[in-house]
Structure 1
């Protein structure tokens, strides 16, 4: 049976959830409640037998006792799923259900001991012992699901057998002949019970372990296949980029002999494949006027295994001189020796020869800068899509029943993913600034609260390193100022985060002052640490993109080198600046200044309150999820797993349009980037249709303001950037006019996909009694 990608991961999650202590307890409770009447067959047989063989009163008494015990136990067990969902302590639930199990076992034991009162001439000891063995077998069947309850029942039944024999002997006035046979019968039955329990427990453990090993094997196989496919895809993409690049690309061995060239090289130089491959690049391209020092510099860089970029004069096949900008990168082997040299060359002859074409070259450079920004934004989109799955699934996994070691692993995954997301956001912010698309807002906020909240976020990290973090101000701060609170906090978090990162002892002091000048405030915030500081020769460069104090700093502390560059540009956008103050003391002092307008007297203060996550009732609504990434679809399905909804899946925009027309969903979660038909075009087609119009929410990793505007212009009602968090998704659904009621009773989740079963993986956890039919996947939550 073929499974969708990452199907075994979902299967492993569902398997571990079912076999976790909470899952086993829930299954135990459901099973006991479900088979209540089946167990009463044994009760009816016992009570009826006593009524026929002895008295009706004795039969009724034993039947009533058994039903009382079963009724109390099942009444408590019916509450277990609700308690687990509400987050009640597991140990408390286990103890309560163990007590009710013991009470139920004692009522059965009381029924068995009452047979001693039988007035029949025939001994009923064998009947009582057989009944006791049957009850023990019944307790042993579920002992692996709730060990405390099972062991309590078995212990009570064992004690009952001993009490029964002792009372029987006492009532007979001593041992008589039939007692020996009864004792032998008890021993034989006890041995059978022991063998049965051993077999049940061993078989269950073997079954669970075997299934777990099978799932682990499937996960390993899927991961290996995915990594292999990814490596092959990346290799094909790199080969296509190099082959069709506009710049000349040359690959040479460590001796300088050419081993590969692209088509652009052949067009620029005139040398064909067979004429160039096997020749030394210098001998083929250099000429009498080529600068010897430049040649020497390139050869030295190759020998030392370091990259070099320079301009050099080359000659084409027909003897024409061309100036090229060469970017040469040696690739080293495992021993650190140069193995392959990759050179990317660009013809800059016109820029060297003509002043007019110099302006054209400048335009090309600006175009290249815009292309870089577009590339960074595109890469941010491509990385955010899988990051959505990583962060979301780690959030969901952290909410499940995990051991300490597994929780540590999940925490490490989540922390690493958040760190990567911060790097992606830095790159995206820089590309926005570089492309001139960064917008600043003007809204009222409390400067003191902004500073305090920023410091509180880093206070825990400082405390873990034994550092102090103090906030000082020499004058009273204004209550409310006008500006972009989010960008002010972003700069503060970057400065405080760097201070904590690069400080090993001592601490950090944040000092703030705000001086009023007419209708504006000049705000000055300094962050001083006692860390490693910045060497004077590097002080000017740390505000450049991708720069840190030195390479060793990058290796030791990590980071992209974009934080200070972004922070300075943000400060300048706020009519201020960010500078490093010179000084002889250890550590560093950064000064962040910006201008903020005073709060107008006639304007009421409106501070943004923290968002409150509401619990929604999605009962009865239909949601269509249009998403081509299976991991992201799985994540959204998990987010909505507790809602009583009908959830449809579409893997491209064309399917989404068809399903909207056919099933009329209330809400559409529309991914913007999909094959065949993208989300923007699909939305336009839906809005042009005369008929049902759903509430459409955009899901996209494109986080520019222009992307949001494009979505709204196409007819979408809301916008959710990736990674999508559960709280953000629920908040967006709450804004839909079809969702308005508070959460009521426990929900049921239905996932439908008629005609879509081959597209949508089975992401729902099936209960023990669940069934799947047709091409739809449906499940009921516990």
Structure 2
């Protein structure tokens, strides 16, 4: 170029370019974070501002160009260059926001470089001089390459990922590179032109002189800068409003929150944090470090709290500590990406008190449950002990020659005792259900024999009331199955007992069938029946049909509730249907898979002798009635009986004699039955003595008592009140031919 540029105008052009491009890139970053119409709006504003900035830069630079020639500008070309620049830059920003991958920056940069070039060269065509312009192709190509390359680099930097907190540097860098692209194109392109004066060339048509152009460019620049400043002001106000809203939200939190920067300086905190800090003796201020806060707190903050606050600068923290004023605080913190921690301090005093109250309530409930279990165990022992005497003596009396009146009286005693014993068992089962300790077994047993034994008991009772009793048991039921025979008897016993109890006229029928779901037991009667409302509460505890039925027939109302729980534990179903005055039908379905026959198990039809004779039996029991009952039962069977009134006396008697079996009570003074049994087993092992069978005969009948007996070394456990048949069967197993198969 043969003419110099006015440096002040060049600086003005550069300033306008920097402000316009910087603002445009900032607006485009907002567009990248938006979508839809909002994105398009921000992209259009960014493109207009960038295109206008380039246009103003070009023409101010042209005003700085001072050839000694007459100059003017064509209005149409001047306006067209502005429109083309704005359109090209809008397209470039749209490309960089919509494209991803390695080609996004080159394409957007190419579009932007093309827009700069189009604006420049269209603007140059609008120049009117009394001279000829000659272009040097090399410089033109260099200007295009410089514009496209630097623009592509600017868009690449703008889209590059940076660490959190470094977005401002990325924005400044991309804006600066794009300004360099504009400057490079302008001055390289101006170097590419050679001005050859031609006095004969006239400037025809409507032209804008230098003064008019200066006014237009100055006005447009002011308008553009004003719009940019207005946008920034609106954005700043929006940020202030957002921060105020955030401040209001933070102050509404119940926990104290504080944010520190990487230099450990307090940046943001809320009102609860201020209150918590003041309670510790500190006053939060902007720029204050964690160390300064802790120093202000001094001795009013105890060691664990201070350590928790100190540790948040280095690692994640979640601790609980008691504040000096007695409150419990939870200190939580996590380091942020830029290195500063976010600290949350919550008052958990109420939660701690609630948790302590729940723990106390839980402990009280456990203690109450334990006390109830102990009470039930004691009551079981205390009730079963005299009941044992009642039933055993009644059994002994029934074996004597009695007149009909005496037989009836004995029958009443036995029936009343059985009822009381059953009620006691129901209450104990209820306790097991409530404590979750109801247990079931799984063993092989003869299905047909088990059903007949239950049915036979209630057939007699049904006939006593004048009812017809029928058992429909197909031949296919005569097989071994796997399940819990005791619980099956208990459930069927409850159902048959209710059927007989609530049927005054007609019949009771028990049918057994195989189904896909298991074995189905159905108890049908022609009794009172019940309606749908009664059915809904029939399986609840202490429920019967109504109060009048309770008064007429008695009962605790526990049988069906316990049966339902047992059926659930056994994996089956129990349901019923009925209509008032038309009888009832209860259906029980249990999974009872077939079991393989056990050659070592006694056959169901094998008879066991009524009473083994000639045995030497040691009876250890602290209750004289129980000792006398066993003496009568065993003595009548031809056994030699020796008695001891506590565990220690029983142990001494065992040491001094040779007994075929020991009947040991569990709960006794001086030495209880469990300790005495363990002592017997220990001495047998130490002295290499043969094992003496021990049967625990106790009123303690809960599952844990049976387990304790087994753990102590007892061979069997018989619950009081004692049934003579059960006792004799146990003696036969332990001392008769089956004893050889007994597992020691």
- Provide the TM-score with structure 2 as the length reference: 0.46
The higher radius of gyration belongs to: 2
TM-score by length of 1: 0.44
